[in-house]
């Protein structure tokens, strides 16, 4: 009787949510690749000069282009002189340029050779090419036998400067105490051909085990044309550092800005690997212009209750707000794999995440939370038409992504069910 009553109570809530779900579009058909190399870790960017043009990427080397705001997509394989091996990061510049950063595979043999991950690779698609043609790429951070991993790009407000930050491993996966990790950053101009020698961002070092004690998740943000901020995770803390000379140097110390309780490496039922590493963003317009945001997920409320969080700073990272819980469901459910986009036109904050608020097991939906008041409050909207039940086998990736421009919002995610994976988006307009 109690179960029946709960079901009856829940039905109207579900019906209400379903009427507001935006149209879903499958970008990549699932099941065409073996697990481990199936499409995942999607990244997406809206062209600010033509918002109907949207470019996306996914593991290992896929690039997708839409000319009708995401309704239909073409698909191609990216090629680079130093190879392509995942961790796709697609960003757009204000003049309509697209940039695709990824890991290297110079010998084309993947994990069979020590050359894998020897550098970060950045490829450029000119505004006139619209993501359909790319150069062969520029290598960043080559440093002997060290491994370069988990990169992210940012474009300055003018579009004339680029910054990329990542984790350098003395040797990926090493258990030796003499091997360590650090956060590095390099810069370039709009052409993305010539990159500066990397500078160190993190004062503290981590281990090389690709877990909580590794320094990882560096996402840069241009606060203005000369000020570059970077957040990353280390242990149960989120760290922050700032460059005031456009990335040429960083402060010799780093700030602790928030707790990431339980660490960034989460255990989520049905998911072989999940992380809550921080994401940065900045408001360019609106009443909160200049506000810097950091978003992450953690398990401060227990291992069975992963939540999404946000903090902000109005003084370029000198001081920060208390954390705001982004998901608005009752306690006891998992929200994970978060990513954030701050609309450069409206200044509104949009955060995408997987959500299990209506599930007693591992059935998973996708939600987008939106704040129109600088992160103080969020509305939550389900954007997936149907849930999926993930398979813990194979590689599901480390992140999803989202892009926003002028009230148009395009989340992108991996759907994994019964061992098959595909890439999806939702045609979401801000309500």
| DSSP secondary structure letters along 99-158 | EEEEE--TTS-GGGSTTTTSSEEEEEE-TTTTTSS----EEE---TT-EEEEEEEEE-TT
Q: Name the token pair of 26.
A: 């499958």
DSSP conformation class of 331: S
Q: Name the token pair of 55.
A: 């470019």
Exposed / middle / buried, residue 92 (Cβ in 10 Å: 0-12, 13-18, 19+): buried
pLDDT at residue number 32? 57
3-state secondary structure at position 12 = helix
pLDDT at residue number 8? 29
pLDDT at residue number 11? 30
pLDDT at residue number 33? 62
Contact between 319 and 303 (Cβ < 8 Å): no
Contact between 186 and 198 (Cβ < 8 Å): yes
pLDDT at residue number 371? 98
Report the side by side order of strands in the sheet with 161-169.
Answer: 147-155, 161-169, 181-189, 199-200
Q: Name the token pair of 40.
A: 């995942």
The backbone region for 333, taken as left when phi is positive above 0, alpha when psi lies in -120 to 50, beta otherwise, is beta
Q: Name the token pair of 217.
A: 């998740």
Exposed / middle / buried, residue 178 (Cβ in 10 Å: 0-12, 13-18, 19+): exposed
Q: What is the mean pLDDT of each run of 10 residues along the chain (431 residues)?
A: 30 41 92 70 98 97 97 97 96 98 94 93 97 97 97 98 98 96 98 98 96 97 98 97 98 96 93 92 96 98 96 97 97 96 98 95 96 97 94 85 98 86 95 76
pLDDT at residue number 34? 56
- Considering the entire predicted model, what is its pTM? 0.94
pLDDT at residue number 112? 86
- Dihedral (C-alpha) 387, 393, 398, 404: value to the nearest 10 degrees? -30
């Amino acid at each position: 009787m109690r179960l029946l009553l709960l079901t009856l109570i829940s039905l109207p809530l579900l019906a209400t949510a379903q009427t507001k779900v935006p149209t879903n579009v499958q970008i990549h058909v699932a099941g065409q690749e073996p697990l481990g190399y199936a499409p995942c870790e999607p990244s997406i960017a809206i062209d600010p000069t033509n918002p109907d043009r949207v470019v996306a990427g996914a593991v290992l080397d896929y690039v997708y282009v839409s000319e009708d705001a995401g309704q239909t997509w073409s698909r191609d394989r990216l090629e680079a002189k130093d190879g392509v091996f995942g961790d796709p990061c697609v960003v757009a510049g204000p003049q309509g340029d697209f940039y695709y950063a990824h890991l290297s595979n110079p010998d084309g043999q993947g994990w069979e050779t020590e050359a894998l991950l020897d550098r970060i690779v950045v490829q450029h698609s000119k505004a006139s090419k619209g993501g359909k043609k790319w150069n062969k790429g520029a290598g960043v951070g080559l440093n002997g036998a060290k491994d370069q991993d988990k990169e992210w790009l940012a474009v300055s407000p003018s579009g004339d400067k680029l910054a990329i930050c990542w984790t350098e491993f003395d040797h990926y996966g090493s258990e030796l105490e003499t091997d360590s990790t650090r956060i590095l950053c390099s810069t370039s101009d709009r052409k993305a051909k010539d990159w500066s020698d990397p500078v160190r961002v993190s004062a503290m070092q981590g281990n090389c085990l690709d877990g909580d004690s590794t320094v990882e998740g560096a996402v840069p943000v241009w606060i203005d044309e000369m000020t570059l901020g970077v957040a990353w995770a280390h242990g149960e803390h989120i760290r922050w550092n700032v460059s005031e000379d456009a990335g040429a140097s960083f402060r010799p110390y780093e700030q602790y800005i928030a707790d990431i309780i339980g660490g960034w490496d989460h255990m989520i039922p049905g998911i072989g690997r999940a992380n809550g590493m921080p994401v940065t963003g900045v408001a360019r317009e609106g009443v909160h212009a200049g506000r810097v945001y950091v978003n992450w997920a953690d398990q401060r409320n227990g291992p069975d209750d992963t939540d999404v969080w946000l903090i902000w700073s109005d003084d370029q990272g000198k001081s920060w707000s208390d954390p705001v819980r982004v998901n608005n469901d009752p306690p006891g459910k998992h929200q994970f794999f978060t990513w954030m986009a701050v609309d450069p036109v409206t200044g509104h904050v949009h955060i995408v995440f997987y959500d299990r608020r209506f599930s007693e097991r591992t059935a998973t939906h996708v939600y987008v939370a939106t704040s129109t008041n600088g992160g103080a409050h969020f509305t939550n909207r389900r954007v997936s038409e149907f849930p999926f039940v993930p398979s813990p086998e194979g590689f599901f990736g480390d992140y999803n992504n989202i892009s926003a421009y002028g009230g148009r919002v395009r989340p992108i995610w991996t759907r994994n069910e019964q061992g098959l994976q595909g890439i999806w988006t939702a045609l979401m307009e801000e309500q």
